[in-house]
Structure 1
Amino acid sequence: MFGLNAFDSLKHSKSVAGKKSYDTVFSQSFWNKVTHVLEVFKPLVEVLHIVDGDRPSMPWLYGKLKEAKEDIKSALNGVEGNYKPLLDIIELKGKGRLDNELHVTAYFLNPFYFAKNRADIGGALEVMEAIQKCVEMFFPGDEILQGNVINRELQIYKNLEASFRAKFANCYEEINANSWFSFDPVGWWSNYGGSAKNLQRMAIRILSLTTSSSGCERNWSSFAMVHTKNRNRLTTEKLNDLVYVQFNSKLFYKKKRNDILEASDYNKAQHMMVDGVQDVESDVDEEIDPITGATHMEVGDVVQLREPCEEKEFVSEPEDNDENNDAECRWDED
């Protein structure tokens, strides 16, 4: 916009704010700062993407947050005066929220991280205190079982003995750090954790947890679409079935169209940002959703949802004093 000759003819180009904006956009120092901002926030956005995803994020949150801090240090050239104020903010916001016993224990029990740094992770005081606390909470009141898990089964895992020394148990060491998404820590424990039955059960439960309520909130949105003012007499069982079908139908369409983006593909999401329902050409494929009655309109890679009709607000008339007359209702068209 600023590079066009037509900009010179606009009144804004003569104003103080316009000239200041022009100088800012064509300033190399401004774009250098923008680059630094992106380098700092990209690791944090990737962590948020993991937390907000549809797979269990407990095995990855603590480790990915540690990696994000290191990436921020590298982006700011390792100058402590530059990165320390940012890391202090991250530590302040995460303290008591992202560093409790479950997060630390999941970090320890995830072979993807433990295999890379067994000595430091297994010997860290905060890690061992978190594991002991989780064992006490997972097996409450049974001190014998707690001692067996901490003193025997935990040592088997730390030393990679018994079933952990199986031929394919160490295959995770060969996994490239960039392909963490393909690694399944729950499946690993299911396959190789047989020598530590109690620790195996505890690891599978912890590593299967999520770290946010995003999944619940998306499900609540589906309930709100099904249970409307016009359909408010559905039984609980039927409502649950409708939401189940609708929610999984959306996931099916997303995977079919490959609309689920990775954190590294955030720049590809621009074409998906649409404002309302746009006009489409005659060659648009339309599909009627059997649950909502809405029409899916596909234009290239963009799929929009058009509601079948606008919902009208129901307003009741005031009750008549006459005992023989029932209360009347009308639809408010305003």
Structure 2
Amino acid sequence: MPPREEFPTKGLEGAPSNDIGWHFGTPVPNARGSIVCKLCGKVVKGGITRFKEHIAHKTGNVAPCPNVIGFIRESMMNVLKESNTKKIDKKRRKDEFLSQLTEDEDEHEGFIDEVSAIRQATRESIQSQHEWHRREEFRRSTGGWDNIYKEGRSSHGSAREHNRERTSKSIPGESEFTLRGAIPELVRSKSSKQPKVNDSFLKSFRRKIGEAVSKFIIYERLPFQLASSPWLYNLIQVATEIGQGVKLPTPYEVSDVYLESEYQRVHDWVNVLKTYWKELGATLMCDGWTNSLNQMHIINFLVYCSKGTIFWKSVDVSSVRSRDAEFYYRLLDSVVEEIGENYIVQIVTDNEAAMKAAGKKLMLKRQHLYWTSCAAHCLDLCLEDIGKKPSVAKVLDEEKKVTCFIYNHIWTVDLMKKYTPGKQILRPALTRFATHFIQLEEITRQKQGLREMFNSKEFKESKWGKQKSGPAYEAKKIVLGKGFWKKANDLIKVYEPLVRVLRLVESDEKPTMGFIYDAVDRAKRAIQQNCRYFIEYEKIIDNRWNFMHSDLHSAGYFLNPQFQFGVEHSENVLIETLEGTRSVIERLEPSMDTQLLLFRDKHETFGTPQAQKAWKQMNPAEWWMIYGTCVPELQKLAIKVLSQTTSASNCERNWSTFSYIHTKARNRLKYKKLEKLVFTYYNMRLKMRHQQRMSTDDINASFNPISLDYIFEDVDPLSEWLHEKENPLLDGENAGVLPVDTSDDEMDVDQSQQQILSHSSSRSTPSQSGDGPDGGGLSPIDEDDGYSGDRGEIRS
């Protein structure tokens, strides 16, 4: 717990999450959501937010802590208020985003006024029908308007009788009323004049919508995640505003008329982003993918700009027999020609030897661009190289034995959750070999719980606890021993700094070119401080870094004011980065040595108090736009260099789209239409991801520089990376066939791990049921991908 007069600013190491509330409370074992207050000893139920309300003396949900001092109480209340403000802002931005969907539709049509008039007339018609049904129902229940006066009954009495009648019989035409009169009440603005809908009506309407949507999703074998699609919301909103009588589009209209319309709309958005390429420069990213089922090979091209990433094209090269350096050279050259060489600063590809040779050859022809290898791919291969060391491989193999045993049986998974509490040790990551580190770290975090599990009475009395050999015995021996835990902790100290850099380059929210050089250097220093065998690991890291390193990385470091003015350079770093910067200048913008000296020595606009203060608070490229005016040519180059990414991760995350669109059924489409479908689908998703990301905090943060201090000092650096709700852009969106239950004793965890470890990162997790200490269970199912087919039998 922090000192009484200090309030924590970072999470507590070893806590269940990165929330600062854990400084003041401890989770209750085997009681999910229960926390013991370190100040007063009270057990608070309801989770960490409710517990923070206990500390902050927020009334309404929980009793206040009697022992908390005023400073801590007020600080915690500010934390709660800030969190609530962010939630409100996020909801507001989401509502704005959803409302823009329809506005965007209307924006590109030529009959906005006509549509508005139709909608207004429809609303008035629906409202009049709504009122008519209510009056008609009331009239029937009373036997006519005259009976109210003839029989001397009050309107209150008739209403009571009317309410009793409602429970015994339905209203004639109720289904029509629901569709035409009531659903618009759910989507109209609160500010518009409308009758108040009874809660029971709302529940009934919501159920009808839910059943209709669910039937569609289930029948068409679509992923359940589709229910949260903003376009489904938009569809229902438009349908309810228009009302009945309008026919649905035909398959022809969708594939020809509306596909063409959406293609043009997306093309307009792409053209807007292209206007930034001349000033900011662009990165051409490409990566290849092979469908293991039919050996189809597709190459995907995207264009990155700090204002937004767009999909350019995909090329089916399945029929090409020899995909050698010459083939890749001609392909890359043709795409550069399509886009325009003057826009492209660099081409980023994977590390295939033929691709590297093609990139080097292209640099000879195209004198004003660079080829660089994907930083994320290089770092992932670096983790793989470390994992091949015999001593490391032994630790990873032991970790796998523990994971496989536990996840091969639903009973042991449930028992583990009881002691962890509720925490998983099998976690996916964005790249294959980062998953090794993630799982190793999760196991060490749950060390105490796993030990208690294997020592528990339940486990000892189970069939697995009585075994003297086999997977259960091996897993128990590893967990209850001492050797594994020490080696695992040592290995985490090697893996973690590299995974932190991987987290940096995997993100496409901000350009990373100005930070990759120092990030790798920091990772090496962190490993050196914590590892006895640093020289061995340094060789592995340097081998991959030398392959990946480009003059652009050096120039990004040298031109970044954070490092030029904010840190002390070693002589080697200064020489290497200065030489790299000069090489970039000679290639992109010759004759700028004098301007480079003005920047290095902080002369003219670079030396003003405003400029020296601003580099700590601004994105490097933005800083150059404002304070680099005294060196216009260098300013132009610096903005382009510092606006680039270092990874082609956007390509690698989205291959299942092409697995879907390029199926035999889809190949019946004409190729031009297929190209439009891929282009439209991909860019719609990229545009939406960009729009959804832009909360007020995100907009403000976009002007802030990347903080390597935060990345390397964060107590739980991967929590946001792992808990990110955003699915891979196009993965898991299309279903196969219903699953076949093989009713094995054990779940095939090796296969589920293969799914998780795949480079395209399907984010699949085992879904299990029906297993017990005596066996019996279901195969793992990818929850997001809808339905999967048969699985192979792979045993550990």
TM over 0.5: yes
- Which secondary structure state, in structure 1, belongs to the residue aligned with residue 644 of structure 2? coil
Question: Matched residues in 2 for 1:70 and 1:210: separation?
Answer: 24
Counterpart of 1:282 in structure 2 is: none
Contact 1:122–1:128 (Cα < 8 Å) also in 2: no
Gaps of 5+ in 2: 1-452, 698-710, 726-762, 770-782, 790-796
Task: Please name the residue that 2:528 is paired with.
Answer: 73
Partner in structure 2 of residue 187 of structure 1: 622
**Structure 1 counterpart of 2:600:** 158
Moved more, 50-59 or 62-71: 50-59
Q: Does 1:100 align with 2:547?
A: no
Amino acid in the other structure paired with 1:25: V
Q: Deviations over 1:225-279 (max 9, x none)?
A: 66764483437556534432222224445667x9xxx884524636966538999
Q: Is the 8 A contact 1:189 1:200 kept in 2?
A: yes
Q: Distance in 2 between matches of 1:101 and 1:186?
A: 18
- Residue 187 of structure 1, CA deviation: 0.4
Match of 1:317 in 2: none
Unaligned runs of 5+ in 1: 140-144, 176-182, 280-302, 311-334
Task: Using the TM superposition, give the Cα deviation of residue 137 of structure 1 relative to its aligned residue in structure 2, in angstroms.
Answer: 0.8
Contact kept in structure 2, 1:186 and 1:203, CA below 8 Å: yes
**Secondary structure in 1 matching 2:639:** helix
Other structure's SS at 2:540 match = helix
Equivalent of 1:53, from 495, 507, 513?
507
Decide which of 266, 271, 277 is 2:718's aligned counterpart. 266
Question: Once the 2 structures are TM-superposed, how far is the Cα of residue 35 of structure 1 from its aligned partner?
Answer: 2.1
For the 8 Å contact 2:605–2:627, the answer to whether it is kept is yes
Q: 2:468 aligned to 5, 11, 15, which one?
A: 15
TM-score normalized with structure 2 length: 0.30
Q: Judging changes above 3 Å, is the alpha-carbon distance between structure 1 residues 223 and 123 closer, same or farther for their aligned structure 2 residues?
A: closer
CA deviations on 1:139-180 (whole Å, 9 max, x unpaired) are 3xxxxx52xx11x101100111101012321125656xxxxx
- Where 2:514 maps in the other structure, the secondary structure is helix
**Whole-Å Cα distance in 1 between the matches of residues 607 and 561 of structure 2?**
13
**1:69–1:87 CA contact under 8 A, matched in 2:** yes
Q: In structure 1, what is the equivalent of residue 683 of structure 2?
A: 244
Match of 1:324 in 2: none
2:562–2:616 contact (8 Å) kept in structure 1: no
Partner of 1:5: 457
Please name the residue that 1:117 is paired with. 567
SS in 1 for 2:502: helix
1:175-254 maps to which residues of 2 (within 5 A)?
183-218=618-653, 229-230=665-666, 232-233=669-670, 234=673, 236=675, 239-253=678-692
Q: CA–CA distance in 2 between the matches of 1:7 and 1:72?
A: 38
Q: Contact 1:115 / 1:172 at 8 angstroms: preserved in 2?
A: no
Q: 1:24, 1:123 → 2: CA distance? A: 44
Change beyond 3 A, Cα 1:202–1:158: same
Structure 2 residue 494 is matched with structure 1 residue 40: yes
Are 1:64 and 2:519 counterparts?
yes
Aligned in 2, Cα 1:246/1:197: closer, same or farther, shift over 3 Å? same
Count of aligned pairs between the two proteins: 262
Once the two structures are superposed, residues 113-152 of structure 1 have per-residue CA deviations (whole angstroms, 9 ceiling, x without a partner) of: 121235547983222221221111113xxxxx52xx11x1
Instruction: Check if 1:168 corresponds to 2:586.
Output: no
Name the counterpart of 2:584: 134
Distance 1:113 1:121 in 2: 14
Q: Which amino acid aligns with 2:518?
A: G
Of 535, 547, 561, which residue of structure 2 is paired with 1:84?
535
* Residue identity matched to 1:50: L
The 1:213–1:101 alpha-carbon spacing in structure 2 relative to 1, beyond 3 Å, is: same
Contact 2:514 2:557 in 1 (8 A): yes
- In the alignment, does 2:484 pair up with 1:27? no
How far 1:31 sits from its partner (Å)?
1.9
Identical-pair percentage: 24
Aligned residue number for residue 315 of structure 1: none
Q: Which amino acid aligns with 1:70?
A: R
On the 8 A contact 2:615/2:623 being kept in 1, the answer is no
SS at match of 2:566: coil
CA distance in 2, matches of 1:195, 1:22: 68
Query: Following the alignment from structure 1 to structure 2, what is the Cα–Cα distance between the partners of residues 22 and 305?
Result: 34
Take 1:271 and 1:189, find their aligned partners in 2: how far apart are those partners? 32
Question: Quick one: distance in 2 between partners of 1:271 and 1:135?
Answer: 39
CA distance in 2, matches of 1:212, 1:88: 22
Deviation per CA, 1:171-228, whole angstroms, max 9, x where unpaired? 25656xxxxxxx4111011111111111111111111111121123446655666676
Find the counterpart in structure 2 of residue 329 from structure 1.
Answer: none
Q: Which has the larger radius of gyration?
A: 2
Answer 1 or 2: higher relative contact order, Cα 8 Å, separation at least 6.
Answer: 2
